[in-house]
Structure 1
Amino acid sequence: MQDQPEPREILATVAAFLRDTVVPESRPRTAFHARVAANAIDLVSRQITLAGTSDAAERARLVQLLGEDLPLAEANEALADRIAEGAVGPATPGLMEHLLATTLAKLAVDQPTYSGYRAALADAPVAKD
């Protein structure tokens, strides 16, 4: 086990420094780049926090859909191939729910404050990863 602070705390501190100190004290171009950097740090922090759980849930859904126990990247490739071949489609039980849950999990990392994501999350008929 590593000592404190945890990686998420370090990332949050760096992002806050960029937003609260660098942005106000910088020229517009530098301030813009500091905001972009702070947002990238926030995204990495969300990946660290959420990826393990969402990847495991995605893989479990793919095992159900494909009937095969493959690593996540290979399972996604197999699903894409089956969709392209027409072997799997919107009528396939669990497919649309899987695609929605996977998309919501990706948006939770990438754009958690996006209004469309928030609305979809509230209306989603699937478990939120």
Structure 2
Amino acid sequence: MQDEPTPTELIKAVADFLRNEITPVIKGHDAFKLRVGINALDLVTRQLALEQGGDAAESERLKQLTGADGTLIELNRALSDKIAKGEVDLQTPGLAEHLWQTTMDKLAVDQPNYASYKRELGKS
């Protein structure tokens, strides 16, 4: 266990430094590669902030849908197997909601500026 700054704060500080101090002086393809790197740091920051809560909620939904226990990967595989075997479909209570919420949680990390994601957030 370390004291402050947290890993999230460190990653954000590096991304901000690159974005604000380095990006303005880099040109061409190197500027593109730098933006890709900054975007990766931003994604990791969001993942660290959101992953634990999203994974816990997803796991609980999967346990309800599959009637099983296990890791998140195991539970997702169990649900996939049930869907493939026709044991579960969109008429199954909770499945459509689970798929929608899982998608929204993933977009919050991966593409929080995606127009359709923002539009859906506005409906809530």
**In the alignment, what sits opposite 2:56?**
56
**In the alignment, what sits opposite 2:16?**
16
Aligned ranges 1:78-89 → 2 under 5 Å = 78-89=78-89
Q: Give the root-mean-square deviation of aligned CA atoms.
A: 1.1
Query: Does the Cα contact within 8 Å between 1:23 and 1:30 map onto a contact in 2?
Result: no
Q: Which runs of 4+ in 1 moved over 4 A?
A: none
Q: Deviations over 1:51-100 (max 9, x none)?
A: 10000000000011111112110000111111111111010000000000
Distance in 2 (CA, whole Å) between partners of 1:78 and 1:121 is 29
* Structure 1 residue 118: Cα displacement: 1.1
Higher alpha-carbon deviation: 50-59 or 6-15: 6-15
Q: Secondary structure at the match of 1:24?
A: helix
* Structure 1 residue 122: Cα displacement: 2.7
**In the alignment, what sits opposite 1:6?**
6
**In the alignment, what sits opposite 1:127?**
none
**In the alignment, what sits opposite 1:40?**
40
Distance in 1 (CA, whole Å) between partners of 2:101 and 2:112 is 14
Amino acid in the other structure paired with 1:58: E
Structure 1, gaps ≥5 residues long: 125-129
* Structure 1 residue 113: Cα displacement: 1.3
Structure 2, gaps ≥5 residues long: none
- Normalised by the length of structure 1, the TM-score is 0.91
Per residue, is there more helix in 1 or in 2?
A: 2
Q: Figure out how many residues of one structure are paired with residues of the other and give that number.
A: 124
Query: Does the Cα contact within 8 Å between 1:23 and 1:31 map onto a contact in 2?
Result: yes
